[in-house]
Chain A
Amino acid sequence: MSSTTVYTEEELVLLLQRQSREGFDYLYRQYGAVLYGVIFKVLNDEQTAQDVLQDAFVKIWKNIGQYNAAKGRLYTWMLNIARNSAIDKLRSKGEIMKGKILSGDDVVYSRDGMKTEQRTDTIGLRKTVAGLKPEYEVIIDLAYFKGYTLDEIAKTLEIPLGTVKTRMRSAMQQLRTVFNN
């Protein structure tokens, strides 16, 4: 099988389930950069992100038998493993990471209005998501990259829970337009 072989997700699952090197090579080639990108986005630290990427691949490798295609795409499943591993790491790093990230949040989400510009510049989201409204960016960032629940987001931003959800909807709608063009 050459390096240009394209596998469907079903085929890749089979390859991974039989623990083939070919399967791993393909997995890494196809998804390594995306998973690393998301992990890095969460942790904002290369060395930690590399450790977490390794953890995530080990989890994917060991738990591929538990993947259930009926519940969603393999890609999504792997992304969630990577993202959750990164968020766990973020939390376990506790005070150090808190100091690095949450102190920024305190400034940004203070009561006298959201200084999202400042915050997103720090995080670097603006560079990648052109045109996404700041109030949407914040919500996606908190939910997806920081692992906040709806409730936590509502409390942090001091907006009603329903608004958090509808903003999530609007944000994804906007992204849909951006990425489907």
Chain B
Amino acid sequence: MSTTEYIESGALEAYILGALTREEAAEVERNISRSTELTAELKAIEETMLRFTSSFSKEPPAYLKDKIWSTFGTDSNAGPKLIPLQPEYRKPATWKYAAIWIALAGSAALNLALWNQGKEAKEQNNTLATQVNQMQAQQQQLTALVTEYQKNKSMMADTGMQTIVMHTIKQGHPMAATLYWSKTKGEAYVSIDALPAPPKGMQYQLWVMQGGKPVDMGVIGIDMANTPNMQKVAKLLTSGEAFAISLEKEGGSPTPTMENIYVMGKPS
């Protein structure tokens, strides 16, 4: 059956009208997931149905609202405790290899030069020694970076690692962030490469939906925005239905500020 014939058959309408058995509905869902044309048609039918049903709108009696609320019996706004993230920067870029080699070569050359000219003026020697120390320190930093990079690479190679792209929920503002999550290990890394730098006094904060509630996953380093750097999520993350990043005051908030939620994403 062609897509057009399928649409004409009324199967989508039957689905929206709830007239299908569980198996039939599942089949329609399978078909829809394979075709953007069917998805678009379904959306149009859904929209019509929403307008149709809203034409039956009937105000329920006023007292009912509080009665319903009282049956919920929840303690709302009991937000989770705030635990800040320990920033851990990862810089996956090939130029760093080059930088390391240049630094290493430079350092070695300098060492050699020092060895040859070692008997020259002490002051100069001392100065150079200081420089060597500096370079050694730099070298250590770069080595640490390489280690980080290797860890990063193995992290990306981990098949258990899923990538969750959080998309903008602010219309007209194309923003995005990425979460790399190894559910089995409970490890996650967040990158906010497509978020604008936060304004002064503000900071991004990561949230995970667990059991229907947003749980604080810590704040994200201020200088992380607009860079490809990744920050390790310091808290153990073994479950989550969705992820979101909101802009909060520096240091984070106990619960997300709704209107400042910039991006959201769900694990596939």
Contacts and interface: CB of A to CB of B under 8 A. Distances in A.
A58 B50 contact: no
Interface stretch (B41-49, B89-97, B147-155): B41-49
A143 B14 contact: yes
A10 B264 contact: yes
A20 B10 contact: no
Given A140-B17, A165-B9, A58 B214 contact: no
B11 A165 contact: yes
A80 B40 CA distance: 20
Interface string A27-42: 0100011101110110
Given A73-B50, A148-B19, A33 B169 contact: no
A32 B60 contact: yes
Interface of A is mostly: helix
B50 A65 contact: no
A54 B13 contact: no
A75 B65 CA distance: 19
Contacts of B126: none
B72 A50 contact: no
Given A143-B14, A143-B17, A165-B9, A172 B49 contact: yes
A41 B256 contact: no
Contacts of A8: 169
A140 B16 CA distance: 11
A53 B49 contact: no
Contacts of B45: 172, 176
A31 to B, nearest CB: 9
Given A20-B76, A75-B50, A144 B18 contact: yes
Interface string B62-84: 00110111011010110100000
A179 B52 contact: yes
A83 interface: yes
Contacts of A109: none
Contacts of A79: 49-50, 53
Contacts of B16: 172
Interface string A64-100: 1100011111011001100110000000000000000
A170 B213 CA distance: 42
Interface residues of A, number: 66
A37 B56 contact: yes
Contacts of B120: none
B69 A168 contact: no
B123 interface: no
Contacts of A28: 65, 68
Given A11-B169, A179-B48, A17 B213 contact: yes
A149 B65 contact: no
Contacts, number: 169
A24 to B, nearest CB: 6
Contacts of B61: 50
A164 B24 CA distance: 15
A179 B9 CA distance: 22
A157 interface: no
Contact of A57 (B59, B68, B169, B259): B68
B127 interface: no
A19 B76 contact: yes
A57 B60 CA distance: 13
Interface in B211-233: 211-214
A34 B57 contact: yes
A179 B8 contact: no
A171 B45 CA distance: 11
Interface in A101-145: 128-129, 140, 143-144
Nearest to B211: A65
Contact of B9 (A33, A69, A129, A162): A162
B8 to A, nearest CB: 7
19 contacts: A1-B258, A10-B169, A19-B74, A32-B60, A34-B56, A64-B212, A65-B212, A72-B46, A143-B14, A144-B19, A149-B21, A150-B24, A164-B10, A164-B14, A166-B9, A175-B48, A175-B49, A176-B44, A176-B45
List 5 tightest A-B contacts by C-beta distance, closest first.
A65-B212, A165-B10, A169-B10, A37-B56, A179-B51
